[in-house]
Amino acid sequence: MSPSGERENKNRGYIIPIGGAEDKFHNTEILDRFINECGGKDARIAIIPTASELPDTGPTYEKLFRKIGIKHAAVLPIVTRKDANDPEHIAYINKSDGVFMTGGNQLRLSTTLGGTETAIAIRRRNAAGMHVAGTSAGAAFMPEHMIAGGREGSTPTPDKVTLAPGLGLTNSFIIDQHFRERDRLGRLLTALAYNPFAVGIGLDEDTAAFIRPGDDLEVVGSGGITLVDPGELSYSSMDRAREGEPVSLIGVKLHILIAGGRFEILTRTANAE
């Protein structure tokens, strides 16, 4: 899948990966910001629960959005690839202001949506201004290169991560979630060692990156974001490391940003606020 548009596309909507376990009851700051970007309480939100095997995941988010005040929020029950080509689902996405992808298993998203009319519609509408948010698995699925799975630990090894094609909303970032809570630095570093072009985003729970047109991001939420920038990588032993062996990476930059922090992709600069 190709990205929805180039960095210079000023009309593109926000891409909003969330690290999972976002606050749904007390401080709904992340979801409130998503709704505001979509146009407020008159916005139309399409909820895609494909990543989850739990039947109540979609309805739970629909009730939550309606409780927050959204008048038009609907679950698109996409379980099979046939569902993902359903004209009614495509029509709803085409008139939506925002799409929200729930958590679960990101491989369910890639194998069910990949190459379907739903995936095409989301990319086209995002390029035209529709905002796309995803939590946990929904966040990992957003970029061109998706982290499909991996093992815990802080040291990269060749077998630390499994990569798969993602939705393709951006090729500037590789995204991981539940980052600090599940000790996932090693697998993000491994993914970047395989593809040093991208910047790694490690999202803590209840934390989101609001990625605006131009691929600059702002941190929203109660946790932190670990940004791993391999742009000045001068040495990597990935090409000769064997399975299970540690990998040496020299010249990698790491930033920790909390709420209000920003990162500019073109200049590769981070700011605390």
Q: Is 26 one of the annotated active-site residues of the chain?
A: no
Cα(60)–Cα(63) distance, integer angstroms: 5
Q: Would the CA dihedral through 187, 221, 265, 100 be positive or negative?
A: positive
Q: Which two tokens stand for residue 181?
A: 């809570």
CA-to-CA distance for 63 and 81, rounded, in angstroms?
A: 26
Rg (CA), the chain: 18
Which residue is catalytic, options 96, 110, 136, 172?
136
**What would the two tokens of residue 213 be?**
């047109």
| Residue 136: active-site member | yes
Residue 255: other Cβ atoms inside 10 A: 18
CA–CA separation, 101 vs 120, rounded Å?
A: 15
Question: Of 89, 131, 145, 178, which is the active-site residue?
Answer: 178
Q: Is 131 a catalytic residue?
A: no
Rounded CA separation 186/154 (Å): 4
In the set 52, 205, 236, 255, the catalytic residue is 205
Active site residues: 136, 178, 205
